[in-house]
Structure 1
Amino acid sequence: MKRLLSVMLAAIVGGCASAPPSPAPPSDALYRSLGGTPGIERLVDASLARVHADLRINLFFENTDLADLRRLLIEQICAASGGPCVYTGRSMEEAHSGMNLIDEDFNAFVEDLVAAMNEVALAASTQEQVLGLFGPMKPEIVGQ
């Protein structure tokens, strides 16, 4: 299982990092496959719980308003997946400026996200689409 996760992570994140950004979803199909807003809320809650427990990256969130972060992640995933939300947060470059994040930090977040998606029982195809939303953001996050 760990080997499969590593291969999947490397393929998706690596592929997304070098691929041009995906166009916005043409419909709300991904939003619906996530379970709408309630499903996205479950995914965000599971992800934040894993990030909070992850000693590799939880220090980056020590001074973060977690309720606001939760709200913004829900907005971001909802909007990016074709849902009715509007993302009201800062750009990824602004939000991560001065943090000097490295590839390993980004990969740890993605690993936590994958584990959360497994926890909430998202289909593999849905997981790939969600990872496709985050992969193109990597250059805006890492090295800022």
Structure 2
Amino acid sequence: MPGGPVAAGLRGPAPAGLYQALGEQEGIARLMDDLVERAVKDPRIGPIFQESFKQTKPQALKDSLTAQICLLAGGPCEYDGVDMQSAHMNMKIDKSHFNALVELLQDAMDARRIPFTQQNRLLALLAPMHRDIITVR
């Protein structure tokens, strides 16, 4: 991965067992499929996703998210995408949008019966990214 996890906005190291608790790469891919489907349908953030699909195919976004979460969770994946700040700089994302996505991620994890402790571990790893993702203050 160019620049490593920190350069991409991914902080490490992951808590032991998180990758396995998320279902490894296959489970993470299903989780990201579910998350993106929920996000597209959500009136709070669906328009942002629809706009992004003018430049990025939905499957490419899902694959990128899968690689990021896999790496962040301690899996053997590689992320070769751009850093979070560059990826989101023109999207006009505010705190309510970020929180909506977190809520949908929690719903998707609940639907996959991911233990609450592991959900919290993942969310704790993702939380620092808000600085790079929220572009409207």
- TM-score > 0.5 by shorter chain: yes
Does structure 2 retain, via aligned residues, the 8 Å contact 1:56–1:108? yes
Give the C-alpha shift of residue 57 in structure 1.
0.5
Amino acid of the residue matched to residue 118 of structure 1?
A: D
User: CA separation in 1, counterparts of 2:83 and 2:60?
Assistant: 15
Does structure 2 retain, via aligned residues, the 8 Å contact 1:78–1:84? yes
Does structure 1 retain, via aligned residues, the 8 Å contact 2:12–2:72? no
Residue aligning to 2:114: 122
When normalised by structure 1's length, the TM-score is 0.80
Verify: 1:56 aligned to 2:44, yes or no. Answer: yes
Verify: 1:83 aligned to 2:72, yes or no. Answer: no
* Structure that is richer in helix per residue: 1
Does structure 1 retain, via aligned residues, the 8 Å contact 2:15–2:73? no
Give the C-alpha shift of residue 89 in structure 1.
1.0
Give the C-alpha shift of residue 123 in structure 1.
0.2
Give the C-alpha shift of residue 26 in structure 1.
6.2
Runs of 4+ in 1 over 4 A off after TM superposition: none
- How many residue pairs get matched? 123
Verify: 1:67 aligned to 2:59, yes or no. Answer: yes
Amino acid of the residue matched to residue 54 of structure 1?
A: D
Percent sequence identity over matched residues? 37
Verify: 1:44 aligned to 2:32, yes or no. Answer: yes
Does structure 1 retain, via aligned residues, the 8 Å contact 2:18–2:73? yes
Q: Which runs of 5+ in 1 are unaligned?
A: 1-20
CA deviations 1:26-57 (Å, max 9, x no partner) are 65x21011111111012111111110110110
User: CA separation in 1, counterparts of 2:88 and 2:75?
Assistant: 25
Verify: 1:24 aligned to 2:13, yes or no. Answer: yes
